[in-house]
Structure 1
Amino acid sequence: MADIADFANDLVQERLDQALAARAANKPAPVAYSFLFCEECDTPIPLARRLASPGCTQCVTCQSLDEARKARYVR
């Protein structure tokens, strides 16, 4: 049988959940900056790739090679 303390605890928990949800909604999204040049081969990374994949650090060729290398080690 629920008493007044249980109702109070439920109310406090609900308010805490609402406050945490509001706080999380107000946080700014992290900004990912792309490199202008590939970290592997130092060739320029095209603008289209930087816009399509924010936070990229490698050109398409080096990224493909890196993913293929990692895929081999997963097996």
Structure 2
Amino acid sequence: MLCPCAPDYLTPKVKIEELVAMANGWAPDSAVQDQIDATIMDAVFAARSRLPSGEGSTDCEVCGDEIPAKRRTAIPGVRTCVACQSERDKRPTFTGINRRGSKDSQLR
């Protein structure tokens, strides 16, 4: 028998599920994985939004060289040749998100 002055969490009224929830900080067991999945989905969405779309071009809009038919078929909406796109990809881009102090950055 418990002492009448025992804390509430020791009384039989509290279910074990509630104790587990308190120990977890009221977060479900899959919360960390859900956060990782959400971060990955955000990155995939951002990458897909940067893909070219719409009517493509037969000539590179940077240097004017012809874009090979295989490249135009592989990437619908492409507007640059491989050489110009490679140079463009080398340039640093600003993402607008500072993740150095976040938990997400520690998961990568």
- Relative to the length of structure 1, the TM-score reads 0.51
Note closer, same or farther for the CA distance 1:46–1:73 as it changes in structure 2 (3 Å cut). Answer: same
Structure 2: how far apart are the matches of 1:49 and 1:36?
A: 10
Q: Which residue of 2 aligns with 1:59?
A: 81
Q: What secondary structure sits across from 2:89 in the alignment?
A: helix
1:1-75 to structure 2, matched below 5 A, reads 32-69=54-91, 72-74=92-94
Q: Alignment identity in percent? A: 37
Structure 2: how far apart are the matches of 1:45 and 1:58?
A: 7
Structure 2: how far apart are the matches of 1:49 and 1:58?
A: 10
What is the CA-CA distance between 1:33 and the residue it aligns to? 1.7
Number of matched residues? Answer: 43
Structure 2: how far apart are the matches of 1:46 and 1:67?
A: 19
- Relative to the length of structure 2, the TM-score reads 0.36
| Structure 2 stretches lacking a partner, 5+ long | 1-52, 96-108
Structure 2: how far apart are the matches of 1:74 and 1:65?
A: 16
Query: Structure 1: which amino acid aligns with 2:66?
Result: P
Structure with higher helix content: 1
Query: Structure 1: which amino acid aligns with 2:64?
Result: D
Moved >3 Å (runs of 4+) = none
What is the CA-CA distance between 1:41 and the residue it aligns to? 0.3
| Structure 1 stretches lacking a partner, 5+ long | 1-30
Structure 2: how far apart are the matches of 1:54 and 1:73?
A: 23
